[in-house]
Amino acid sequence: MIRAGIVGGTGYTGVELLRILAAHPGVEVAVVTSRTDAGLRVDALYPSLRKHIDKVFSLPDIEALAQCEVVFFATPNGTAMLMAGELLERGVKVIDLSADFRLQDAEEWSRWYGMTHASPDLIEKAVYGLPEVNREAIKEAELIACPGCYPTAVQLGFLPLIEHGLIDVRHLIADVKSGVSGAGRKAELAMLMSETGESFKAYAVSGHRHLPEIAQGLARAAGQPVQLTFVPQLVPMIRGIHATLYGQLNTDAEDIQAIYQQRYRNEAFVDVLPQGSHPDTRNVRGSNNCQLSVHRPQGGQTVVVLSVIDNLVKGASGQAVQAMNLMFGLDETLGLNTLALYP
């Protein structure tokens, strides 16, 4: 059994990790930390975990975490980079669900996240944990930078077009909607039900923190810089990401549907829907799946890709467990074959 620790077990991604790992046949959850709730039983805060997780929240302690084989950081940005180095030195694998190691340029990271990076030397050691792109590197990794929810949906949607050189990478548009859980479990006026219910708004149009992460991944696929307009929007639902992606085709000769089916034919968690389909966030809720469909409205030169995921699963904790499975030589799907919740 793999001994796993979770730093930051009281947030949405932390409890989602607990939900997934509690049913994982190859993992023992050994340590769960929380500065706020230290001393409290995990199942007292989250009764849904009764009879599955019998741990008590503890303060983050390197000595205790070093007894684990893998440690997940489900923490705010700026926490993992303070502790990851010591754990790596002790032979512990680290999977960071925050943004601390996603960007390869420490100065750019500092510009977007408003603080100096505490461990710039670790950035080059981190492997970006998108299995559909970096599977082989993840298998050998000691430090994983788990992708963000917006970047996962957008990259999986655009990649086949970019990899085949079918669209103009100077004019990419990502119009993406998210449920409120993407903002994390915190008391914030803008996230109150009375503020978000029966309302729908865009935000951070001038520049969202996930923009450089998305552009970095797409540029790597394209082999050149890309120009991306990314507009995130908040919708009054708890879970889900719906990305509507636009690109201008360079050719008329390709069967785009066949390209998508071929690209993802062996991917357990990417489902290319039949031609003409419109994916729905409810059909991936609670699962580690990404569903995609591709369209050419009126047969024109604009291609529209629709991409949906659960932001807490494929967009965070499920993807982290998928990466863990690869790191430890397990079946990639182990513990992740949960069907979506319906209705």
Please count the CA atoms within 13 angstroms of the CA of 85 that sit on its side-chain side.
Answer: 12
What are 133-166's pLDDT values in tens digits? 999 999 999 999 999 999 999 999 999 999 999 9
pLDDT at 180: 87
What are 223-235's pLDDT values in tens digits? 999 999 999 999 9
Distance, in Å, from the CA atom of 146 to the CA atom of 143, rounded to the nearest integer, reads: 9
CATH topology of domain 149-311: Dihydrodipicolinate Reductase; domain 2 (3.30.360)
Quick one: which of 294, 290, 330, 331 has its CA closest to 310?
290
What are 92-140's pLDDT values in tens digits? 999 999 999 999 999 999 999 999 999 999 999 999 999 999 999 999 9
| pTM summary value | 0.96
**So which residues are the catalytic ones?**
149
pLDDT at 189: 66
Q: Looking at the predicted structure, is the pLDDT value of residue 182 above 80?
A: no
What are 52-105's pLDDT values in tens digits? 999 999 999 999 999 999 999 999 999 999 999 999 999 999 999 999 999 999
DSSP for residue 187: -
DSSP for residue 314: I
> How large is the average pLDDT for residues 5-34?
96
Q: Looking at the predicted structure, is the pLDDT value of residue 12 above 70?
A: yes
State residue 79 phi and psi, 5-degree precision. Answer: -95, -50
SS3 178: strand
Taking all residues of the chain, what is their mean pLDDT, rounded to a whole number? Answer: 95
- Tell me the β-bridge partners of 3: 28
Q: Looking at the predicted structure, is the pLDDT value of residue 27 above 70?
A: yes
> How large is the average pLDDT for residues 28-48?
96
- Residue 190 — pLDDT band, cuts 50, 70, 90? low
pLDDT at 251: 83
Q: Where are the domains of the chain?
A: 2-125, 149-311
Distance, in Å, from the CA atom of 242 to the CA atom of 235, rounded to the nearest integer, reads: 10
CATH topology of domain 2-125: Rossmann fold (3.40.50)
